Each structure stands twice: as structure tokens, then as C-alpha cells.
């Protein structure tokens, strides 16, 4: 009987509490940071392609492709933002 209680205590002590932030590769902070960096890189690439196209350095097909990628990235960011705001508003509506 003492063996079971010590095993339960050990399991409880080694479990990560839900209130502690998770640091590492799979944390939400790293996920959002990499998503934001990807959006920034996509926009920067489209700007460089647009400037190159204006000076004759890039073909129009590359410009259209870069603008389409940027449009998709911005629409994705707006959709994620809307979902976060919706979730926040839902939390605010919860009774305490």
C-alpha cells in the first residue's frame, strides 16, 4: 500500500503543472514566433520581387506569384487573429 502512494506522489511531483509555461521546441510561443517570422519573410520577399520587377530584374510571373503568396499569408494571419479575438470574447462571456 505504501508503494502505491509513493508512486502516485512521485508521478504527481514529476508532472508539469498546467500553470507553468512550457519551454522548448513545441511551445506555443515558438509556434507563434515562427509563424510571425514566416509572414514577415513572405511580405519582405514580395516587396523585393516587386521592386525588382519595376526595374526590369524580375519577370511578371514571379511578381504575380509573390503577390499571391503574400495575399494568402495575410488572409491566414487575419483569420487566426479573428479566431483569437472570438475565443477571447467567448472567455469574457463565461460566468465566473
Residue 20 within a domain: no
Residue 11's pLDDT is 67
Residue 7 within a domain: no
* pLDDT at 81 > cutoff 80: yes
| Mean pLDDT (the chain, rounded) | 82
Residue 12 within a domain: no
**SS3 labels along the chain:** CHHHHHHHHHHHHHCCCCCCCCCCCCCHHHHHHHHHHHHHHHHHHHHHHHHHHHCCCCCHHHHHHHHHHHHHHHHHHHHHHHHHHHHHHHHHHCCC
Domain containing 82 equals 26-93
Other CB atoms within 10 A of residue 69 CB? 15
Residue 1's pLDDT is 45
Say how many Å lie between the first and final Cα of the chain, rounded. Answer: 40
Residue 19 within a domain: no
35-66 per-position pLDDT tens digit: 889 889 999 999 999 888 888 887 888 889 99
Residue 5 within a domain: no
Number of compact structural domains in the chain: 1
pTM beyond 0.75: no
Residue 9 within a domain: no
Amino acid at each position: 500500500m505504501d508503494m502505491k502512494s509513493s508512486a502516485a506522489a512521485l508521478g504527481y511531483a514529476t508532472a508539469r503543472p498546467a500553470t507553468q509555461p512550457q519551454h522548448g521546441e513545441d511551445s506555443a510561443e515558438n509556434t507563434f514566433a515562427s509563424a510571425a517570422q514566416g509572414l514577415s519573410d513572405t511580405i519582405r520577399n514580395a516587396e523585393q520581387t516587386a521592386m525588382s520587377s519595376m526595374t526590369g530584374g524580375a519577370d511578371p510571373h514571379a511578381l504575380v506569384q509573390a503577390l499571391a503568396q503574400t495575399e494568402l499569408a495575410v488572409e491566414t494571419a487575419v483569420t487566426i487573429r479573428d479566431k483569437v479575438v472570438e475565443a477571447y470574447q467567448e472567455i469574457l462571456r463565461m460566468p465566473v
